[in-house]
Chains A and B, each alone.
Chain A
Amino acid sequence: MSAPASSVLRFENVSVSFGGVKALEGVSFEMDAGAVRIVYGAAGSGKTTLLKVALGLVCPDSGNVFVFGENVTHLSENDWFKIRAKMGILFQEGGLFDSMTIAENVAYPLLNQQVSAGRASENGQVGERVREALRFVELESTLEKFPSELSGGMRRRVGIARAIVTEPPLLLYDSPTAGLDPITANTIINLILKERDLRHATSMMVTHRFQDGHLLANFRYNPDSGQIERVVRNSNGGSQVTTKFFVMHEGRLVFEGTQQELKASRDAYVQKFAK
Chain B
Amino acid sequence: MLDILKAPVETFQDFVVLSGRAIGNAFRSPHYFDDIVLQSDAIGVGSLLIVLFIGLFSGLVMGLQLSRTLATYGATAEMGQLVSVVLVRELGPVLVALLVAGRNASGIASELGSMKVTEQIDAMRALGTDPTQKLVTPRLIAMAVTLPLLTILADFIGLIGGYLIGRYRFGLPFSQYWTSAWQILQYNDVVQGLVKPFAFAVIISLVGCFYGIRTSGGTEGVGRSTTKAVVVSSIWIFVVDFFLGEIFVNLT
Contact of B30 among A81, A84, A115 (CB under 8 A): A115
Q: What are the interface flags for B113-136 relative to A under an 8 Å C-beta threshold, 1 for contact and 0 otherwise?
A: 011011110111111111000000
Contact of B127 among A56, A92, A94, A108 (CB under 8 A): A108
Q: How far is the CA of A97 from the CA of B111 in the complex (A)?
A: 12
What 0/1 readout, one digit per residue, does chain B (189-229) give for beta carbons within 8 Å of chain A? 00000000000000000000000000000000000000000
CA–CA, A98 to B120, complex, Å?
Answer: 8
CA A113 to CA B128, docked complex, whole Å: 7
Would you give the shortest CB distance from B216 to chain A, in whole angstroms?
Answer: 9
Q: In the complex, which residue of chain B has the Cβ closest to the Cβ of A58?
A: B122
A85 → B minimal CB distance (Å): 6
Q: Is the CB of B128 within 8 A of A57?
A: no
Q: With A and B bound together, what is the CA distance between A158 and B129 in angstroms?
A: 19
Q: Are B127 and A112 in contact (CB under 8 A)?
A: yes
Pairwise interchain contact A91-B128, C-beta atoms closer than 8 A: no
Q: Cβ of B128 and Cβ of A95 under 8 Å apart?
A: no
Contact across chains for A93 and B118 when beta carbons are under 8 A apart: yes
Contact B125 A57 (CB under 8 A): yes
A91-B119, A93-B117, A94-B118 known; A116 vs B128 contact (CB < 8 Å): yes
Our pick among B30, B120, B129 for the contact of A96 (Cβ within 8 Å) is B120
Contact yes or no, B127 A57, CB < 8 A:
no
Residue of B nearest to A89 (CB): B126
Chain A residues lying within 8 Å of B126, measured Cβ to Cβ, are 55, 57, 84, 87, 89, 91, 95
Task: Give chain B residues whose Cβ lies under 8 Å from the Cβ of A109.
Answer: 127-128
Q: Which residues of B contact A200 (CB under 8 A)?
A: none
Residue A129 CB within 8 A of the other chain: no
| Chain A residues whose CB sits within 8 angstroms of the CB of B114 once the complex forms | 98
Restricting to B82-106, which residues have a CB under 8 Å from any CB of A?
Answer: none
Assess the A95–B30 pair: CB atoms within 8 A.
Answer: no
Q: Is A77 an interface residue (CB 8 A)?
A: yes
B115's closest neighbor in chain A, by CB?
Answer: A98
> Bound state CA distance, A109 and B127, in angstroms?
5
The answer to whether B128 touches A97 (Cβ under 8 A) is no
The one of B30, B119, B128 in contact with A85, judged by C-beta atoms closer than 8 angstroms, is B128
Cβ contact within 8 Å between B128 and A94: no
Measured between beta carbons, the chain B residues less than 8 angstroms from A116 are 128
Q: How large is the interface on A (under 10, 10 to 19, 20 to 34, 35 or more residues)?
A: 20 to 34
Q: Is the CB of B120 within 8 A of A95?
A: yes
How far is B119's CA from A57's CA once the two chains are assembled, in angstroms? 11
CA distance A102 to B114 in the complex (A): 19
B120 and A112 form a contact (CB under 8 A) = no
Query: Which residues from A are CB-within-8-Å of B118?
Result: 93-95, 98
- Shortest CB-to-CB span from A38 to chain B, Å, is 21
User: Smallest CB-CB separation from B129: which chain A residue?
Assistant: A112
Q: Which of B131-166 contact A (CB under 8 A)?
A: none
What chain A residues lie within 8 Å of B117 (beta carbons)? Answer: 93
- Contact partner of B119 (CB less than 8 A), chosen from A77, A92, A113, is A92
Kindly provide the distance from the CB of A55 to the nearest chain B CB, expressed in whole angstroms. 5
**Distance in angstroms between the alpha carbons of A52 and B125 in the assembled complex:** 11
| Shortest beta-carbon distance from B200 to chain A in Å | 27
Q: Considering residues B30, B118, B123, which has the most beta carbons from chain A within 10 angstroms of its beta carbon? A: B123
Q: Which residue of B119, B120, B127 contacts A84 across the interface (Cβ within 8 Å)?
A: B127
Interchain nearest-CB distance for A123 vs B (Å): 16
- The answer on a CB contact under 8 Å between A57 and B130 is no
Closest residue of chain B to A80 (Cβ to Cβ) is B125
Residues of A within 8 A of B128 (CB): 81, 84-85, 109, 112-113, 116
B127: chain A residues at CB < 8 Å are 84, 108-109, 112, 162
Q: Which of A77, A91, A95 contacts B130 (CB 8 A)?
A: A77
Contacts of A97 in B (CB 8 A): 120, 123-124
**A94 with B129: CB separation less than 8 A:** no
Nearest chain A residue, comparing its CB with the CB of B121: A95
CA distance A112 to B126 in the complex (A): 11
Expressed in whole angstroms, the Cα–Cα distance for A94 and B124 within the complex equals 12
Question: Among the interface residues B30, B118, B127, B128, which one has the most CB atoms of the partner chain A within 10 A?
Answer: B127
Q: Mark A93-119, 1 if CB is under 8 A from B, else 0.
A: 111111000000000110011011000
Q: Can you name 26 A-B residue pairings with CB atoms under 8 Å?
A: A52-B122, A55-B126, A57-B125, A57-B126, A77-B125, A77-B130, A84-B126, A84-B127, A85-B128, A89-B123, A91-B123, A91-B126, A92-B119, A94-B118, A94-B119, A95-B118, A95-B119, A95-B120, A95-B122, A97-B120, A97-B124, A98-B114, A112-B127, A112-B128, A113-B128, A116-B128
- Besides A55-B126, A95-B118, A116-B128, 14 more A-B contacts (Cβ < 8 Å) are A77-B125, A84-B126, A85-B128, A87-B126, A93-B117, A94-B118, A95-B122, A96-B120, A96-B123, A97-B120, A98-B114, A98-B120, A108-B127, A112-B128
